[in-house]
Chain A
């Protein structure tokens, strides 16, 4: 039994199933599409867990599709990092799918809507693309997956056809395509210089030289545009705020993490030795700017969804501190790869927390018809469970215990102080305080007295969906050992020793 599980085609299924679901959902039409989509989504966590078991028993999973070996065929590779991201994706998408029924499932007695027809296939396409990114082991395949991701994500922003959403989506598309072009240019340069784009082969063959430097810089810049790192963040807040809440949840939680994931592969797996101190410091510096600017902007927003979107911009900044801090100060500590693990845990816990927050924002919109922060008095009484979920998710953003964000920050801060790079600790702590500022600014009116006028009641089971996500982000803070051990499987040596 155990052997059978360990040999199953879980990695292949994780890519194929969503795409097959998407193709089937289109002809089925809006009445059935959401059922099919939910069914397929429900299989996600199971498949991801099976893949985790496979990894746990047999080490890094490598698959050559169709039996063709790496330079020719498409290779899939699952290490601990992949599996953790796949798990997070499956869980967040499941929750989002359930929550999206409120807006996109057909209502009895009403006809099909264009949004209801398109949403579900797009969601499945997005999932397939994410899985392909997390399993890809070839820089060109990663490009294809990233393009598919963009093409699924952009229409999700403007699926309701509101004019401001269309404008935001166009801006998003512009940045994303620019990023793609830069990435593709870099990949072409690498291929010209080394004759392969397979990550494993490339890492072994890589020679320093102008072409390699240039390629690395171009690909990094392209990926930064897609990850919305300051100052390339301009597209993110309007797009994530204008999209329907369920779409925002996926975009903020997962889509920006996909391009970041490729960046990690590029720096830690492909060219760890070439990444000089200067590059890593630059990324860290931009991350710092993102933390401070994003948090300050989030503090000034009048609308709930915009505030959450700016918070995403800030939280993404923490991820980039991994680059200068990797390998820092493991000597006095009993654990290894502290900063790298901290960064990845931050990505996961932010994904769970941010999805929960956007889903709460969706419930607020549904109940109140607006999301103006000042006019949310009495929210705590109208939907206590959702407000509680929002607060719990806020813990992770503030980096306060008990939450995954806290453990992540603990590891990152320890690395910063132990390696003598205390200046990275300052923005991390300041960012936490600023996050407390904007989270409590949102909670304040919710807890103030006064009955909300004209709140439409929201059932508790809808509120339970974001609560489940928020609780998971808390659980990650109480039991991070399992993800920690998982991340150790197939981890790049550069994660322990540092870049350069």
Chain B
């Protein structure tokens, strides 16, 4: 009984708040906040229950037939939980942040309604047990994100929204075609039965893989499909956080993970000769994103190109197809999320409190907002890969995995990327901590009010601490690394 109930409940904890919030009148902010936070907290509690269950070998499954043989299937396995846990944890913090960020702005019922719907879609993506289920939630995510991107309703937001839809819907069409082409030959595909694709024509399989990964690559911002992501920077900061760390980009990367690990299987991907091209594409994206980030003087744009680069570590790890590299890719799904959301939270807070949007405007920010800048610095150092931060752990496993898979050139990519990361993050830290503020007579603000609204400060501090902890305690079983090793051990049958 509970086996089927849990996935439904965990989905409902964000779907129901979405529906309730849509119906709330605009001034009812107390009730809206309560519903939001209650949903987020309930989801986190359910996730903890499932973590314990799945660690002990349980799986939870809910099946809803569409037509005979074609089911909407929610299944909680270890990989699903990796993503759900990340999104549940970050959603709670992003909600707190968003409530503070939006203050008493207009259209909040619409905003938080779609916000919750987005997280429901992300949860659905994580729990999907079959290709059609995945596609359903993947599209729900595309569509429920759009109103958030255009939330401000000015010309710039609408243009960004058009570009976002143009890219993502095009990607969806490719993904759909790939899925249908595959399923027209094999019947409906679920994420468990390995080896059902054996015996199909190699050309068909290669074509499907290309279409599916290409389609997913739009959301995962693989170059040259990435241009929507920097453009979407016009969205409010909590939406950027959601796009970059919790939901959209991650959904693409997670989809690639599912396709490689659970649809084709790493063995078949290597056999078809598809791993190396994907690894090359990911490597190119890593370097290209970093180079472009270097050239940006708008903080959020710099962070956006950094996302383009960092998310491709995930695809790189999976493309190398060795278990060690795959662990590195999977763990980066979590690590990148923790670090990048911290950076965006901080960027939003800096923009709100200091009106700092460009790199030069960060001068002396460390004195004005020490906590925020501390969190920012931890995340930035983690991105660069300084031990013992989370980013270092990812890169270590990726590097080891590359050697194990016999692809030593990847080490050069990792090293080059780390140098570039340092080149675009360290100047920010230098300006914030070592240069004097631009306007010498900054208003005398009492110490405890300096950082602005606590709702903008607390979330990044917590995520920065989590990023630090993920690196420091990586050896623990319930650390992201421990969990990623569990997934790979189960998937490779080690």
Q: Kindly state whether residue B89 has any CB partner on chain A within 8 Å.
A: no
Q: Kindly state whether residue A146 has any CB partner on chain B within 8 Å.
A: no
A448 to B151 Cα, complex, angstroms: 8
B186 touches A436 (CB 8 A): no
Which residue of the partner chain, among A334, A410, A436, contacts B169 with CB atoms under 8 Å?
A436
Q: What mask results when residues 278 to 290 of chain B are scored 1 for a CB within 8 Å of chain A, else 0?
A: 0000000000000
Known: A335-B68, A418-B184, A449-B152. A410 touches B139 (CB 8 A): no
Which one of A59-67, A155-163, A208-216, A425-433 is at the B interface? A425-433
Which secondary structure dominates where chain B touches chain A? helix
B140 touches A401 (CB 8 A): yes
B132 touches A400 (CB 8 A): no
Q: Kindly state whether residue B187 has any CB partner on chain A within 8 Å.
A: yes
Which residue of the partner chain, among A406, A418, A425, A478, contacts B177 with CB atoms under 8 Å?
A425
A31 to B141 Cα, complex, angstroms: 49
Distance (Å) between the CB of B243 and the closest chain A CB?
A: 18
B70 touches A334 (CB 8 A): yes
Which residue of the partner chain, among A411, A413, A447, contacts B67 with CB atoms under 8 Å?
A411
Which residue of the partner chain, among B165, B169, B187, contacts A332 with CB atoms under 8 Å?
B187
Distance (Å) between the CB of A451 and the closest chain B CB?
A: 10
Q: Kindly state whether residue A72 has any CB partner on chain B within 8 Å.
A: no
Residues of B contacting A401 in the complex (Cβ-Cβ under 8 angstroms): 135-136, 139-140
Residues of B contacting A478 in the complex (Cβ-Cβ under 8 angstroms): 64, 72
Which residue of the partner chain, among A333, A418, A433, A447, contacts B153 with CB atoms under 8 Å?
A447
A484 to B152 Cα, complex, angstroms: 43
Distance (Å) between the CB of B356 and the closest chain A CB?
A: 25
What is the number of residues of chain A that contact chain B, defined by CB distance less than 8 Å? 38
Which one of A127-135, A250-258, A380-388, A491-499 is at the B interface? A380-388
A342 to B248 Cα, complex, angstroms: 30
B66 touches A332 (CB 8 A): no
Distance (Å) between the CB of B168 and the closest chain A CB?
A: 10
A440 to B22 Cα, complex, angstroms: 20
Which residue of the partner chain, among A329, A333, A480, contacts B69 with CB atoms under 8 Å?
A333
Residues of B contacting A429 in the complex (Cβ-Cβ under 8 angstroms): 173, 176-177
Distance (Å) between the CB of A124 and the closest chain B CB?
A: 35
Chain B interface size range: 35 or more
CB interface residues, A 322-357, toward B, < 8 Å: 329, 332-335, 341
A432 touches B180 (CB 8 A): no
Q: Kindly state whether residue B473 has any CB partner on chain A within 8 Å.
A: no
Residues of B contacting A334 in the complex (Cβ-Cβ under 8 angstroms): 68-70, 187-188
B65 touches A481 (CB 8 A): yes
Residues of A contacting B183 in the complex (Cβ-Cβ under 8 angstroms): 414
Residues of A contacting B143 in the complex (Cβ-Cβ under 8 angstroms): 391, 395, 400
Q: Kindly state whether residue A285 has any CB partner on chain B within 8 Å.
A: no
Q: Which B-chain residue is minimally distant from A395 (CB atoms)?
A: B143
B185 touches A332 (CB 8 A): yes
A410 touches B153 (CB 8 A): no
A384 to B184 Cα, complex, angstroms: 40
Known: A388-B22, A425-B177. A335 touches B186 (CB 8 A): no
A414 touches B162 (CB 8 A): no
Most-contacted residue by chain A among B67, B146, B188 (CB, 10 A): B67
A214 to B187 Cα, complex, angstroms: 41
Residues of A contacting B162 in the complex (Cβ-Cβ under 8 angstroms): 440, 444
Q: Kindly state whether residue A29 has any CB partner on chain B within 8 Å.
A: no
Residues of A contacting B191 in the complex (Cβ-Cβ under 8 angstroms): none
A436 to B158 Cα, complex, angstroms: 15
Known: A388-B22, A429-B177. A333 touches B187 (CB 8 A): yes
Residues of B contacting A411 in the complex (Cβ-Cβ under 8 angstroms): 67
Q: Which A-chain residue is minimally distant from B165 (CB atoms)?
A: A440
Distance (Å) between the CB of B238 and the closest chain A CB?
A: 18
A153 to B383 Cα, complex, angstroms: 66
Q: Kindly state whether residue B147 has any CB partner on chain A within 8 Å.
A: yes
Residues of A contacting B188 in the complex (Cβ-Cβ under 8 angstroms): 333-334
23 contacts between A and B (CB under 8 A): A332-B184, A332-B185, A334-B68, A334-B70, A335-B67, A381-B107, A391-B143, A400-B143, A400-B172, A401-B135, A401-B139, A407-B67, A417-B184, A432-B173, A433-B169, A440-B165, A444-B150, A444-B158, A444-B161, A444-B162, A447-B153, A448-B154, A481-B66
Known: A401-B136, A481-B65. 10 other contacts (CB 8 A): A334-B70, A334-B187, A395-B143, A400-B142, A417-B180, A418-B185, A429-B176, A444-B158, A447-B158, A480-B66
Measuring CB to CB, which residues of chain A are less than 8 angstroms from any residue of chain B? Answer: 329, 332-335, 341, 380-381, 384, 388, 391, 395, 400-402, 406-407, 410-411, 413-414, 417-418, 425, 429, 432-433, 436, 440, 444, 447-450, 478, 480-481, 484
Measuring CB to CB, which residues of chain B are less than 8 angstroms from any residue of chain A? Answer: 22, 64-70, 72, 106-107, 110, 132, 135-136, 139-140, 142-143, 146-147, 150, 152-154, 158, 161-162, 165, 169-170, 172-173, 176-177, 180-181, 183-188
